[in-house]
Amino acid sequence: MLIYEQSRPGRRAFAQAPKAAPELSGIPQEFLRREKAALPEVSEMQAVRHYTRLSQKNFSIDTQFYPLGSCTMKYNPRACNTLAMLPGMLGRHPLAPELHSQGFMSCMYELREMLKEITGMHDVSLVPAAGAQGEFTGVAMIRAYHDANGDRARSEIIVPDAAHGTNPATAVMCGYKVREIPTLSNGDVDLEALQEAVGPHTAGIMLTNPSTVGVFERNIAEIARIVHKAGGLLCYDGANLNAILGKCRPGDMGFDVIHMNLHKTFSTPHGGGGPGAGPVGVSERLRPFLPVPMVARDGYGDYYWLTEKERPQTIGKLMAFAGNAGVLLRAWVYARILGREGMIRVAEYATLNANYMAARLRNAGFQLAYPERRATHEFIVTLKKQAKELQVNAMDFAKRLLDYGYHAPTTYFPLLVPECFLIEPTETEAKEELDGFVAAMQAIQKEAESEPDTVKAAPHALPVRRLDDVRAAREPDLRWIPGDRC
Amino acid sequence: MSNIPSELKYTKTHDWVRDEGDGKVTVGITDHAQELLGDLVFVELPEVGAEINAGDECAVVESVKAASDVYCPLNGEVIEVNEALADAPETINSDAFDEGWMFRLQLVDAGELDGLMDAEAYAEHCENEEH
């Protein structure tokens, strides 16, 4: 029920009401309302119950295990949020003069330095507002680099078929043609196909390492050699950075540009549409093209903004200010709390948890998509046998998991593995939680064999039953009409 | 195993091709392909008059699970598209080989048809892909 439907004239909720009417001076008369806004009128108890109930309907990381692969839906420590919200940080205006922003700017400078160290890149810009914009920035810089060299014949970006959909989309957004290359059955990039694909038309390659099939790309050094020899550059998708923090660095693998999803790897909740932060790191040759503004420190230890004036070859600005300040601050706090050793432990536990779960699920009879490979921070189970023999598919398993109190893993991605679950437990889950998930999978397997209809009609225990996503896509109806019941 | 009519030709990327004579062919995606994709919610077709090379992306089929490119099976010019699919993409799910046809081509070289797989070879191809 919507809160509007509980509304009756004259009811008031005093605890939730503003303490005082806000100051309205300065707003021109013609912009002021003539009538009161049609807000719901409910009692204090109704307001409390309504929003408490809504929060209980939420399936969230605070209440449930959330093993969404390729997304790193990990716990975001409260301390990061609390410290990023200190009044001085929260109240800082982005147009405040440098003199009044030295504290914030010192954090940003340090964050830049830490990200350089973590990734092995020569320089970092914090500007991009999210992962997709980070990717865009990466390829835009590759374009700027080739243009600056007068190398305009380079028209193609190579993308392995296991890539995130954003990779080819980014290449096209930057005016490139996408050249797809296959992945071998062991999860590595097909080097022969890569060798055939590169040439004077190659602008670069976009790669995720560990890849979206949850394994480390073992031939990365050879890939870098092949692409560089052809005159192309290597662009790293930072989606899976969590697996390698403090262990190995994209800069050392030969990448020329990388983007990091600070909102997944560095402690900002995500998945609700933002805001995010997608800083980019670059090798020496791409340094001049980094987006501005960037924080710098002068000889006196004072911080200042680098702009187009100091960086004439920059690809320019991507948003009004220097990135999403709150998300960047949380990342800085997170990195400071973890420190160098903590960072390594993140990667180790993320990887240990994934391999533990993969081994337990395999022993329970589930089929791993890449059984001969050690998993990184995530791994893939394929339910094609269940789909074929029991007519219970990955989506049915996913929906049934909800009844058992577990958020489903990523389903049907990557596309090249049929009926797949991409499972990423993350480093912050206890062994009991991982065991519980495995037990739920085993229980669902039994149900699929003995009472498949229960699984196929799931979920049964949630506020909303199985959604008709086909009808939702074919006949989208996004209006709410007063009196409508959902 | 899904339905594979013996009078049609097939590609590795799960298109079917029907020889209509005079160098004209009708193209769609196979029953096996629609089964893998699941319920379709959107179909993007090539433009009539477009000249397309074999192997080029020429259409898109989108299901609730994924969006996939459809690759042109042969070199030719698009002479007709199945406009009805715009409002009823589910036709491909219910009748992939008939009502669910996608577009018709005037081939550059009708002889190219011989290079495609027959039903038996396609069935084997699907079988291999599953392992």
pLDDT digits (tens, 9 = 90+) for A273-327: 678 999 999 999 999 999 999 999 999 999 999 999 999 999 999 999 999 999 9
Model confidence over A324-375: pLDDT tens digits? 999 999 999 999 999 999 999 999 999 999 999 999 999 999 999 999 999 9
The two three-digit tokens of residue A235, written as one number: 């662009």
The two three-digit tokens of residue B7, written as one number: 């009078």
A18/A122 same-domain check: no
Task: Tell whether the model's pLDDT for residue A480 goes beyond 80.
Answer: no
Mutate to test the interface with A, among B65, B69, B130 (most CBs of A within 10 A): B65
The kind and range of the H/E element at A112 are helix A102-119
Which residue spans within A146-299 are E strands per DSSP?
156-160, 177-181, 202-208, 233-238, 257-260, 280-282, 294-297
Residue B110 to residue A39: CA distance in whole angstroms: 69
CA angle B60–B64–B69, rounded 5-degree value: 20
Instruction: Look up the CATH number of the domain holding residue A405.
Output: 3.90.1150.10
Task: Tell whether the model's pLDDT for residue B1 goes beyond 60.
Answer: no
All structural domains of chain B with their residue ranges = 9-111
Model confidence over A127-143: pLDDT tens digits? 999 999 999 999 999 99
* A474 vs B41, B65, B68: nearest CB: B41
- A129 torsion bin: left (phi>0), alpha (psi -120 to 50), beta (else): alpha
Classify residue A176 as exposed, middle or buried by CB count within 10 Å of its CB (0-12, 13-18, 19+): buried
The two beta strands, A156-160 and A202-208, are: parallel
A290/A395 same-domain check: no
For helices A394-403 and A431-450, what crossing angle results, to 10°?
A: 120
Query: Is A486 within a domain?
Result: no
Domain boundary among A299, A319, A337: A337
The 3-class SS string of A340-364 reads HHHHHHHHHHHHHHHHHHHHHHHHC
Residues of A in contact with B41 (CB under 8 A): 470, 473-474
Query: Is A71 within a domain?
Result: no
Cα-to-chain-centroid distance, residue A283: 23
A328/A357 same-domain check: no
pLDDT-above-70 percentage for chain A: 98
Task: Tell whether the model's pLDDT for residue A483 goes beyond 50.
Answer: yes
Q: What is the mean pLDDT of chain A?
A: 93
Domain boundary among A337, A354, A371: A337
Per the DSSP assignment, residues forming a β-bridge with A157 are A178, A204
Instruction: Look up the CATH number of the domain holding residue A192.
Output: 3.40.640.10
Domain boundary among A302, A337, A372: A337
In this prediction the pTM is: 0.87
A331/A358 same-domain check: no
Query: Is A120 within a domain?
Result: yes
Mutate to test the interface with B, among A385, A399, A469 (most CBs of B within 10 A): A469
A260/A141 same-domain check: yes
Cα-to-chain-centroid distance, residue A107: 22
Q: What is the pLDDT of residue A118?
A: 96
Task: Tell whether the model's pLDDT for residue B131 goes beyond 80.
Answer: no
A433/A450 same-domain check: yes
Lowest mean pLDDT among A152-156, A296-300, B6-10, B63-67: B63-67
The two three-digit tokens of residue A297, written as one number: 């420190």
Query: Is A481 within a domain?
Result: no
B9-111: CATH topology is OB fold (Dihydrolipoamide Acetyltransferase, E2P) (2.40.50)
pLDDT-above-90 percentage for chain A: 81
Q: Kindly identify which residue of chain A lies nearest to residue B36, measuring between CA atoms.
A: A418
Domain hosting A463: range is 346-472
Q: What is the pLDDT of residue A229?
A: 98
Complex-level ipTM beyond the 0.85 threshold? no
* A415 vs B41, B64, B66: nearest CB: B66
A48/A99 same-domain check: no
Instruction: Count other Cβ atoms within 10 Å, centred on residue A266.
Output: 30
A146/A238 same-domain check: yes
Over residues B44-55, the mean pLDDT reads 95
Residues 6+ apart with CB under 8 A from A61: A73, A74, A75, A76, A269
A136/A258 same-domain check: yes
Residue with the two structure tokens 């919610």:
B41
Q: What is the pLDDT of residue A486?
A: 45
Task: Tell whether the model's pLDDT for residue A53 goes beyond 70.
Answer: yes
A260/A148 same-domain check: yes
A248/A395 same-domain check: no
Query: Is A50 within a domain?
Result: yes
Query: Is A175 within a domain?
Result: yes
A297/A425 same-domain check: no
Query: Is A485 within a domain?
Result: no
Model confidence over A222-271: pLDDT tens digits? 999 999 999 999 999 999 999 999 999 999 999 999 999 999 899 988 76
How many domains does the structure of chain A reveal?
3
Are A231 and A151 within 8 A, CB to CB? yes
Is B69 at the interface with chain A, CB within 8 A? no
How close does chain B come to A174, measured CA to CA in Å? 19
> Taken in order A470, A474, A479, A480, is the CA torsion positive or negative?
negative
Query: Is A377 within a domain?
Result: yes
Residue A65 to residue A429: CA distance in whole angstroms: 8
